[in-house]
Structure 1
Amino acid sequence: MKLKNKLLLTGAATMAVLFLGLNANAARMDMVDVSNNNGYMSTAEYVSMRNEFGVKAVTVKISEGGTYKDPYAASNIKNVQAAGMYINGYHFARYATKAQAIAEADFAGGTAKAAGLPVGAVLATDVESQEANNQSKATNDRNNAAFMKEIQKFGYRADIYTSGSWANTKMTIKGRTGWIAAYPYVVSGKNWYSNNHAWQWSSTAKFRISYGGFDVSQLNSNYYTAGQKSTVKLTNKGAVKHNNRKANKHAYKKSASSKWIKEAKTYTLKTAVKLRAGASTSSNVITILPAGTTVKTDHAIIQGGYRWVRQPRFNGYGYLATGPSSNTLEYVKSGATHTYYTVKSGDSWWAIAQRNGLNMTTLASQNGKTIYTTIYPGQRLVVR
């Protein structure tokens, strides 16, 4: 991607030495991303993240697809700014064509403006959906380029967020661009994706006065902080160092190893599940299996805090987690059959749920989605 907009920064100078001084042997909690899943976040929570954990920037969800607006975007933007931190946004992409990408960029840009995202902030496209998984690399590159070009018309800087297994396989992520997610078991000691703007290294980070787990990223350039004002002043450097080390230590705990056992079973997926090349959450993703997929397995193992099963494939094996080792049937169930409904033009979650005697939240959940997820004609949904 050639960066022609004057708001976009280029060159080696953007690779910020600023971020490399603190606790160099541990991944840093430079940036947090939040969405409606985190609920309402107060200014006090952001101040705690800043002072006690060294968080410099927050990237908030703005929108998804062509209709969903995150209800907490405006309050998140306002409260992050009140905490004196850098603010950015992201749009969860559902586009499959260039026209859809442009339309979603217009929707995201307008929604961001209305929510108060300042000009000069990054508005990244989050590309990890089933729609993108179904496209070729060339098509995803074309669509992503169209989205990013369009989003710059609103005064925002563009970037792509995706998983490490998709980077340069499902889409092109050039050096000195990109925000890449990869969650290794051992975090300290290696700066992953150091040639990209940011590396998201955990989705389970804990903060002292905030509930739940958070996505945290290390910034490897100043792209997500440039062009904006910040009044960040760390007031507890000792706490920052301690909490970063603690986060690295507990990002992933390996469970005691065990042996593979024979297990010939047929599972039906309750939600979309990533099929991986190995029995590890850091293994490459082969594909994303949609809800309702039938999977036949031959072996199982408890490993890394999950119960894994092995699926024989025509060119080897695929591996999927049936759930945490303490709750091994959270994501799949054995021996189930389903009734499907094919989405038609004009359908909605409410209409489909009513037609099939379901609560629309239940309908969305059993398909691995939320009621805010955009559905398209031709999609198959589990209704029984």
Structure 2
Amino acid sequence: MAYAAKGDHGVDWSKYQGANGIFGYPDDKFAIIQMGGTTTGWNLYDQWTYGSQVSSAIAQGKRAHTYIWWQNVTTTQQADRVLDYFLPKIQTPKASNGNPGSIVALDVESGGQNTQVILYACEKIERAGFTAVVYGYKNYLQNNTNLKAISDRYPLWMAQYPDYSVRRYPNYNYFPSWDNIGIFQFTSTYIAGGLDGNVDLNGITDNGYTNGNSQKPKTETPATEQGKQIHKDTHNYTVKPNDSWWAIANRYGMEMNALAQLNGKTINDVIHPGQVIRVADKGEGQSVSNKVNTTPAQPKPVQPANNTQYYTVRYNDSFWSIANKYGMNMYTLAANNGLSINSVIYPGQRLKVSGNVQVTQKVHYVKYGETLSGIAAQLGTTVSHLQAVNGIRNINLIYPNQRLTV
């Protein structure tokens, strides 16, 4: 089994690592897997490899986590569109019984960004039962976000490479020093031909798994169930002299390609004496081969409880103020009532809402001549707090009518 510890190594995958992914070394313990993402903030794309890679990682005794490509998402409406699409499709485990869920990272490395929207998205990921993490390169994040505001609230997965030589272990002379880095991606050439290598600095890749055991996810999905079943029906085999994929597959009643895929390889990869691979238990060869060749189903969406609430519109209410009170998106609120946000609402009108009433945030609109320090003193808070929650990098750059959340 792959039990977690500070210092565990792992990889990250997208479609370029194929249906079953590729591990760099036998002692790798985790894989962080791209499920899809957006390049415009409105378009959405899936990675066809996501479910099978999650299953493959679990089958090989590794912990599986998730990431989403996050480019040009600069409004909460875009964030809602992206996350409302992807969150129900996540195949790695959720939080359970007060224990944190698996990592869902936002891959923030290009395009337009908005710190407040990143924080909003991370909060939404956490509410959905996952561990929110932000990935990126230090220089890019510093130049395009308020990185301190992000790292004050959420862990980072930070990348920095000294060169592009094959690198088995991190060179900490090139560590991108910053607060709250949970994972360090130290190379893009973990093996010849290219593969990202990562090190877990504080055990964050345990999240979602009981004691870091890949075979004990906190919650089940079709992919984790399939991976667990494959792992249960297989065992370790040490390659002997003169072995081949065909010979081993034939010995254990497996299809040769399925045997290679089970181990994150192809039949063109050379195996060598002493190498440890997974093979089917006696009598399970065809069953394991079939599972390896089957794409896991999508998770079934959780059906919300029938707890629809209604709200009676009051004087000076708006879609925005009502949606904010109930933790909703104002576009969703309007649509759920057969309206658009350009529709007129009036006192006494009854609107269908969902969620629980939230404590209303204080909001301040900047007046001409005000300073951030003066506003902080007036509202009983600090300049650093206002900077963090509003994504303000330069305290001297605020403007009249700017909306500040307190």
- Which band: TM-score by shorter chain? 0.3 to 0.5
User: Quick check: which has more Rg, 1 or 2?
Assistant: 2
Higher relative helix content? 2
TM-score (norm. length: structure 1): 0.45
Higher relative strand content? 1
